[in-house]
Amino acid sequence: MSAGRTIPLFGARRFARQLLADLAAVSKDRDDLHATLARTGALTQLEREKRLEQLRGEIAAASAAQEAQRIEFAAERERLTAELAELRNDVVETRERVLLQESGVYEYTHPLEDAVACKVRLDAIRLDIKAMNKAEGRAVSAAKGWTVNGSEAKGRTMIRDYSKLMLRAFNSEADMLVRGLKPYALPAAVDRLEKVARTIQRLGKTMSIEITCEYLQLRIGELRLTADFIQKKAEEKELERQERERLREERKVQQEIERERTKLEKERQHYLNALEALQAKGDLEAAERLRTQVDEVDRAISDVDFRAANIRAGYVYVISNIGSFGESLIKVGMTRRLDPMDRIRELSDASVPFNFDVHALFFSNDAVGIESAMHSRLASARVNLVNQRREFFRATASEAKALLVELAGDLLTFHDVPEAFEFRQSQ
């Protein structure tokens, strides 16, 4: 095999089979030479010796060639094995980046505060890109003193035209990478752009045409900042969605409280009217019973007012959905709804195939504190490491029960085993 023979990146096995075929051909040639030696008996002694010497030389050369090919094949196999291992590592790293990205874990290359700051920095970089493209020799460099048919003017024109062509190809590739960039694919995009720059350098070697290091780094910086910008935009969009969800929940709580207070006020007024009528008739015993009911309504109104004023009061819940998420995965949250099951029924909407099962549901004047403490104790089991509003944890109901007892005291009711009626009936 010649030293200049190109080894393909893919199809290494086919290439190896070709090398083995070459070795077999050399062995056949050697066997043919031995057969020829056996047929030289009819020659003269001098001719036989001369022919024998010649054949020995050919056999030695063939053996040397065979050994050289064997060594070259072994070296090539070792190189391809190492290259394959490196490519597999790249694939694993890329897959890990995809998984981390999907989970919300992203490592920023430019620690800017928000998407607006990223956009401002990105616009500045793009102005620098335009300026370098306009300035001769800053984005692409080339040989000086090139002549065509003895004409330096024609040489300069040729160099300029080829330089523009190479720069245009590089910019097209860079723009395409920017437009299709995914944050997790940033390393692959940078590697691709660097390879394009090396290809241009190789193709333009005769005229020393190459992308300048300064311009290459500027376009790589554009890629990195674009990845940060895309990720920041996604995070801010998610935060906005969470805030809208929080405000919707707050409005529902306030509307529920207002409806309950209006209902209780009407009920109280009804009792007061009846009480006044009984007192006018002199039915003191009935009036006393009615006054007790008025006191109960007053206490209910006070409770509603307390719930409205105390934003930390509410219901803490532990729920699961084995039909949708499997076992050993729970959701721990709190709601300020007067009827907490309304919130749980909302979670069991059409987005999940089965309803949530309630393990624990209890009222606390500091539901926010208990929820926060539960989340802190279960932090290592959190499913989503970035979005804190995704309150799912890889834990069992029994583990949650032990934490609740520690934080809130004895629980009146706790269901260790989920009912999962629809799921079990579907099996």
Distance of alpha carbon 40 from alpha carbon 50, whole angstroms: 11
333 is a domain residue: yes
Query: Both 287 and 319 in a single domain?
Result: no
109 is a domain residue: no
Query: Both 217 and 125 in a single domain?
Result: yes
3 is a domain residue: no
263 is a domain residue: yes
345 is a domain residue: yes
End-to-end CA distance of the chain: 64
Reported confidence tier of residue 120, pLDDT bands at 50, 70, 90: confident
Mean pLDDT of the chain: 81
Domain that holds residue 212: 115-235
41 is a domain residue: yes
1 is a domain residue: no
Backbone φ and ψ for 311, nearest 5 degrees, come out as -75, -10
Reported confidence tier of residue 189, pLDDT bands at 50, 70, 90: very high
The structure tokens listed for 75 are 């070296």
Distance of alpha carbon 340 from alpha carbon 361, whole angstroms: 8
Q: How many domains does the chain have?
A: 4
pLDDT at 109: 54
Query: Both 68 and 128 in a single domain?
Result: no
Give, as one character, the DSSP assignment of residue 313. Answer: -
Q: Which of 77-86, 110-119, 259-268 has the lowest mean pLDDT?
A: 110-119
Domain termination residue (choose one: 287, 309, 331) = 309
Which are the contacts of 301, defined by CB distance < 8 A and separation ≥ 6?
261, 264, 265, 268
Distance of alpha carbon 221 from alpha carbon 211, whole angstroms: 15
3-state secondary structure of 352: coil
For the whole model, what pTM was predicted?
0.52
Where is mean pLDDT largest: 133-147, 169-183, 257-271, 290-304? Answer: 169-183
Give, as one character, the DSSP assignment of residue 366. Answer: T
